[in-house]
Chains A and B, each alone.
Chain A
Amino acid sequence: MRAARIPKRAWVGLGLLVGLGLASWLAGRVFPEALAHTCPLGRDPTHPDRTVCELAFGGLWVSLVIGLAAGGVSTAVGLGVAMAARAAGGFVEHQILRAVDAFFALPDVLVVMVLQLAGQSLLDAGQAGGLGPFGLMVVSLALVGWAGPARMFRNRLATLEGQEFVAASRALGAGRWHLLRLHLWPALRPFVLAVFLSRLPTAILTESTVSFFGIARMEPMSLGRYLGTSYAALIYEGGSRVVLPAWGLLVLLVLGASLASQALGAGTRRA
């Protein structure tokens, strides 16, 4: 079976993501002093010790890492649940799917806010199991984000298992593990990447919104927390120079992930 060609739009999205990741890593982590001395946007009036570029690129790195970690965990959990549901089949699969649908109907922002409240209370009481604000945010986002991928993977697995090559392999005596390793997983792999990329913008936007409210205590600041703590700058003359760069980076980040996931998703559906 010839590998499906990756669409041009997916390359654009992936290039944008990698470019932003590299830029934030180089600017925020490797050469932070370069931004401190050469930032054309000047200092942030609400954080006078830092330049706008330092805060925006530092926030971009944190938002990206949170998105990648939360997207990765949600995708892995979703895949595990889907495989368990398919392996169980019948009544158990039906009940798992109903639970998945109930979770999927919950609004992300609201549930993450409640989970953050619970997590921070555990953190304050020293019972968070070694998780810091970053870990808490990733766990909260993964807890609300696994249901969508689980539904998508289950449907994809059901479609793949109905294909002739799987039936032929079964007829030749292939076991469940052999089928999964040699036939289902190679066909599922591009779809897993597309689903992971589709979780990325959702996780980043949810984290940004919750951090903007001041509920998450992300340190160093993510883009959302930075915007939440700096928006008072808008009341000063020229304050938009503080808000617009962070917004632009957030939009580009989400745009890159959306373009890549949509193009890869469409490609795998056609394949």
Chain B
Amino acid sequence: MSSVLVRLGRQVVLVPLVALASYFLMAALPLTSDDEAKRQVSPEVLASYRRDLGLGEPLGFLRPWQKLWRGERLGTSAQGVTGDELAWKLSGSVGVGLVALGLALGWALGFALLRARWRRSRLSLVTDMLPAAAFGTPVFIPALLFAPEVVERGHLLPEACAALVISVWPGIFLGTLVADALDTELARDYVRTALGKGLSPRAVLWRHVLPNVLPALLDAVGPVATALLAGSFAAERVFGLPYFGQLYVLAVLQKQVAVVVVATTVFASLLVGVGLVVESVRFLVDPRAREAAS
């Protein structure tokens, strides 16, 4: 149990580390105040950034969080964000990500079944090439192809489309993992023994094989969560969804450094939260994890 707590502690400690690293990186930036260049900031905005970051104040790195806690706006008035708005935007992105996760599991199951069915036929080439094609397609490409229907003509729900386009790569990735794990498990002696003793293939699959495949699936949840959240940045940008990804991209483009610090830390916290949930689920469903911990 103590080893599990140590692992969890190591993950949680990453959040303040990310907060401090991003704060000091942003605080060290020479934000020039020359109005001539398109991307540089005006003296007023520069002063506002310095106030946001609490530069020159004791414990200045707490300043952005203090402002959020008090309900004040972080960043310049037009493009800044309050704590409530940040929570709303984050919930929008997480909602899209959760729908995408459901879709990705559907893609994964379909892909794994297709790969198992086509394993010894010429069609196996399709299931071999599909992961490479899916991996080689950045999320913004399918989003662009849907964009005219969604943005211009308003035919499809932007959130549903965003979830659909960001679910494809994680779905194929999970499907490949599940298919590989299924292949390995189905070739093991215990499966042959169970079938030899008269258990139906369905019972062998559900009762014996799938519980052994689940840990492999849990290992992939971390990278998949990162892919879904990073993918949502591109999808939100293309479909014009006003959620967390859009906030982050705009904050970087407009050099809203205090918003970047807060958003980076929130993103890291979210990933750590996913990691904690995965570890808890693993502890519940995988007896090997419980044995290793005791």
Is B292 an interface residue, CB under 8 A from the partner?
no
Contact residues of A with B, CB < 8 Å?
A: 98, 102, 105, 107-110, 113-114, 116-118, 120-122, 124-125, 127, 201, 205, 208-209, 212-215, 224, 227-228, 231, 234-235, 239-240, 243, 247, 250-255, 258-259
Asked if A208 contacts B138 (CB within 8 A), the reply is yes
B145 and A240: CB pair below 8 A? yes
B138 touches A235 (CB 8 A): no
* Interchain CB contact under 8 A, A113 and B248: yes
Q: Does B107 contact A (CB under 8 A)?
A: no
The listed residue (B17, B135, B152, B255) touching A254 by CB distance below 8 A is B135
Closest CB in chain B relative to A212 CB, distance in Å: 5
Residues of A within 8 A of B133 (CB): 251, 255
Residues on A with beta carbons closer than 8 Å to the beta carbon of B34: 124
**Stretch of B64-72, B210-218, B228-236, B281-289 lying at the A interface:** B228-236
* CA A235 to CA B271, docked complex, whole Å: 36
**Majority secondary structure of chain B interface residues (helix, strand, loop or mixed):** helix
Task: Write 25 A-B pairs (CB below 8 A) sorted by A numbering.
Answer: A105-B222, A105-B271, A107-B267, A107-B271, A108-B230, A110-B230, A110-B248, A117-B257, A121-B29, A122-B30, A209-B230, A212-B138, A212-B237, A213-B233, A213-B249, A227-B140, A231-B238, A234-B144, A234-B145, A240-B145, A250-B136, A250-B141, A251-B133, A251-B136, A253-B136
Contact with A along B259-294 (1 / 0, CB 8 A): 010001001000100000000000000000000000
Which 4 interchain pairs have the tightest Cβ spacing? A254-B136, A125-B30, A251-B136, A121-B29
Main secondary structure of the interface of A (DSSP, over half): helix
Is the Cβ of B252 less than 8 Å from the Cβ of A116? yes
How many Å lie between the Cα of A251 and that of B134 in the bound state? 9
* Also in contact, A102 and B14, with CB within 8 A (given A107-B229, A215-B252): yes
- B284 to chain A minimum Cβ distance, whole angstroms, is 23
Q: How many residues of B contact A (CB 8 A)?
A: 47
Total number of residue pairs linking A and B with CB closer than 8 Å: 120
User: What is the interface of chain B, defined by CB distance below 8 A to chain A?
Assistant: 10, 14, 17, 22, 25-26, 29-32, 34, 37, 39-40, 129, 132-133, 135-141, 144-145, 147-148, 152, 222, 226, 229-230, 233-234, 237-238, 248-249, 252-253, 255, 257, 260, 264, 267, 271
Residues of B near A258 (CB, < 8 A) are 132, 135-136
Quick one: closest B residue to A108, CB to CB? B230
Q: A124-B32, A124-B40, A209-B139 are in contact. Are A110 and B267 (CB under 8 A)?
A: yes
Interface centre among A117, A201, A231, A234 (most CB of B within 10 A): A117
Least distance between B222 CB and chain A CB atoms (Å): 7
CB contacts (< 8 Å) of A124 on chain B: these are: 30, 32, 34, 37, 39-40
Does A250 lie within 8 Å of B138, measured CB to CB? yes
By beta carbon, the residue of chain B nearest A223 is B138
Q: Smallest distance from the beta carbon of B27 to chain A beta carbons, Å?
A: 11
Whether the pair A209, B260 counts as a contact (CB closer than 8 A) is: no
Counting chain B CB atoms within 10 Å of each CB, which of A127, A231, A235, A259 scores highest?
Answer: A231
Cα distance A258–B136 in the bound complex, in angstroms: 8
**Which residue of chain A has the shortest Cβ distance to B249 in the bound complex?**
A213
CB distance from A33 to the nearest CB of B (A): 29
Q: Which of chain A's residues has its CB closest to B18's CB?
A: A106
Taking A107-B271, A209-B234 as contacts, is the C-beta distance between A247 and B141 under 8 angstroms? Answer: yes
Interface pair A114/B252, CB less than 8 Å apart: yes
Known: A98-B10, A234-B147. 4 other contacts (CB 8 A): A114-B22, A117-B260, A209-B230, A247-B137
